[in-house]
Every structure is written in C-alpha cells, then in structure tokens.
Homo-oligomer: A and B are copies of this chain.
Amino acid sequence: MRKNIQKRQSGCPIAFGLDTFGDRWSLLIIREIMLRGHNTYSEFLAAEEKIATNILIDRLKHLEAENIIEKNRDPENRRSFIYTLSQKGRDLAPILLEIIIWSGAYDKRDFALRNVLEKINADRKGFEASLTSE
C-alpha cells in the first residue's frame, strides 16, 4: 500500500499535492496541529478518529520527510518530541478551510461540528492569516 504513496510523475499539481499531503490520515494530523494546537504523538493518538499506531508513525515520518512538519525534542521533557508545522505545512490552511466550507454545505448529519466553520464565516481572512503565520 505505501509504495503507492511515491510521487506520481505526471507533473499535475493536483497529483503532486495529493501525493505530498493528501491521504486521509496525513491531513487529520495536520488538522490536529493547525486547528487544535496538538503537538505530541499521544495527542494525535487520542484524536476521535482513532488512528492506528503504525499508520500514525508512518504518516509522521512521511510528513517530516516532505518538510510539512518538524520534529523537535520537547525542551520541558527531553524524552519526548514536539511536532509543529513548517511554513509549507501552514500554507495548507486555505485547502483545509475550503474542505471545511464544502463539508459545512454538504454534511447534514446531526453531529457535524461547525465551530471552525463559524470562525471562517465570521472572519475568513483574519482566521486564515492566523493559521498561516508563524
């Protein structure tokens, strides 16, 4: 399965994007960091979608290799690591916001969360800037 995640050589920017960040679990890790301020392995593991440990480890390595996330030792606990987004990772914010807007229009399930959509609707520009800036 993972060998499929090598970059396709078509030159198409959509293929490039999907090969770089576009699997279901990678974007949820990016969501954890970008929208929830979560930065540790155990926080990612606690996300409600229940990512499996082997997939989480694999995707963290992949995102680090793609320079979308950065892995550093926690200064307050040298035995653990902190994951943050690079500028390349933060620049994914407009894609995530468009996904949230689209889902807001089409997810009719009762339990659909709308808290981030409300922030977008209130001040998209400012909210997006807060996500993409360092």
Contact = CB atoms under 8 A, between A and B. Distances in A.
Nearest to A12: B113
B91 A105 contact: yes
A66 to B, nearest CB: 9
- Could you say how many copies of this chain the assembly holds? 2
A88 B88 CA distance: 29
B31 A113 contact: no
Given A20-B106, A24-B23, A105-B91, A12 B48 contact: yes
A90 to B, nearest CB: 11
A116 to B, nearest CB: 7
B14 A96 contact: yes
Given A22-B24, A23-B24, A88 B106 contact: yes
Contacts of A104: 13
A112 B16 contact: yes
Interface in A1-52: 1, 4, 8-20, 22-24, 27-28, 31, 47-49
Contacts of A28: 12, 14-15, 18
Contacts of A103: 13-14, 16-17, 20
